A = this chain, B = another copy of it.
């Protein structure tokens, strides 16, 4: 079943308002959350709304946070999210990075005491309108085993980098530092399909194609899978350290779970989960027009490369941008279990889907 963007926007905004979010926060959180549905990253959109509601019911989300800078230099800041929705904390922190970049050339903000922030790409893309490069990353609940580990110590820890172009659409990379994002695994679970080799391991560390391996004590594998997971492990670790060890958030196995039925670790090493944002003004390096002309050349060169039969070479961001254009017109398809979930929270909070 398919819903229009505006329909889902009104519903989601009303849910956040019912939770007690101030109006500007409810609107902002809705925009961030639905950007995932628009861009086709269904696992991170309204499908997660019920999860946020349950975290709030469990007293683990502060709907009226005082988000503020706790330490800063001309090009850096640490932001305390005050336990707020990551969907609200993250845009505030990114705005600080953009303002630092305006004044000092670049801005780098590490965030503690936050929560899940939707898709990293949304935040990185906020830099584009300012002729800046935008960077966003976050740590997440531990589901990933470092190379040779049986223990799950890292999240899927995504990285997004948005780079402005001229006449061409902007370059927007946004990817989990695992072989596959957890959302893709959930889809395979629902459809009861096996997953490709290199995505997951069993509890004993052997490779698996069972979509339920992670549920049964196994783990997601870092990017690189069977042939080079140490590089994905490096990347996931860097995201964890920049997001949480720099800011004073929880890191590694201490990152609080997104699901409300699991308790956060009893011995936290920091506050909430952590994000890291960066903004670099293009003209802190070279004139923006010159840079964008070369980006256009870069993009057309790659897009026009000779390709494997029946395929074409894509530019990072192409599929998500094309999907957003379609879904703005045709609406956003939701799976039945997601609709039932939304109807249930709607009923509880007095909001009709």
* A contact set with B: CB distance below 8 Å: 71-76, 78, 104-106, 108, 110, 133, 146-151, 153, 161, 163, 171, 173, 175, 177, 179-180, 196-199, 204-205, 223-228, 230-235, 237-238, 240-242, 245-248, 251-253, 269-270, 280-282, 284-286, 290-291, 294-295, 297-298, 301-302, 305-309, 311-314, 316
The answer to whether B285 and A228 have CB atoms under 8 Å apart is: no
**A-B pairs with beta carbons under 8 Å apart, 27 shown:** A71-B284, A73-B104, A73-B281, A75-B106, A104-B104, A104-B105, A146-B302, A147-B313, A147-B314, A148-B308, A149-B305, A151-B306, A171-B241, A175-B230, A175-B234, A177-B231, A179-B227, A180-B227, A198-B227, A205-B307, A223-B223, A223-B232, A234-B316, A245-B298, A246-B282, A246-B286, A253-B301
| 7 further interface pairs, Cβ-Cβ under 8 Å (given A149-B308, A175-B234, A199-B227) | A73-B284, A173-B235, A198-B228, A223-B232, A245-B298, A246-B282, A270-B294
Residues of chain B lying within 8 A (CB to CB) of residue A233: 316
Residues of chain B lying within 8 A (CB to CB) of residue A228: 179-180, 198, 223, 225
Distance (Å) between the CB of A340 and the closest chain B CB? 32
Query: Copy number in this complex?
Result: 2
A76 to B285 alpha-carbon distance, docked (Å): 7
Residues of chain B lying within 8 A (CB to CB) of residue A312: 148
The answer to whether B316 and A237 have CB atoms under 8 Å apart is: yes
Closest to A151 in B: B305
The answer to whether A241 and B197 have CB atoms under 8 Å apart is: no
Residues of chain B lying within 8 A (CB to CB) of residue A110: 285
Residues of chain B lying within 8 A (CB to CB) of residue A294: 245, 251, 269-270
Distance (Å) between the CB of A126 and the closest chain B CB? 18
Residues of chain B lying within 8 A (CB to CB) of residue A232: 223
Residues of chain B lying within 8 A (CB to CB) of residue A75: 74-75, 104-106, 284
Residues of chain B lying within 8 A (CB to CB) of residue A237: 171, 173, 302, 316
Residues of chain B lying within 8 A (CB to CB) of residue A301: 153, 252-253
A302 to B106 alpha-carbon distance, docked (Å): 32
The answer to whether B247 and A286 have CB atoms under 8 Å apart is: yes
Distance (Å) between the CB of A310 and the closest chain B CB? 9
The answer to whether B223 and A78 have CB atoms under 8 Å apart is: no
A294 to B274 alpha-carbon distance, docked (Å): 14
Most B-side CB within 10 Å, residue of A231, A240, A314: A231
Closest to A224 in B: B223
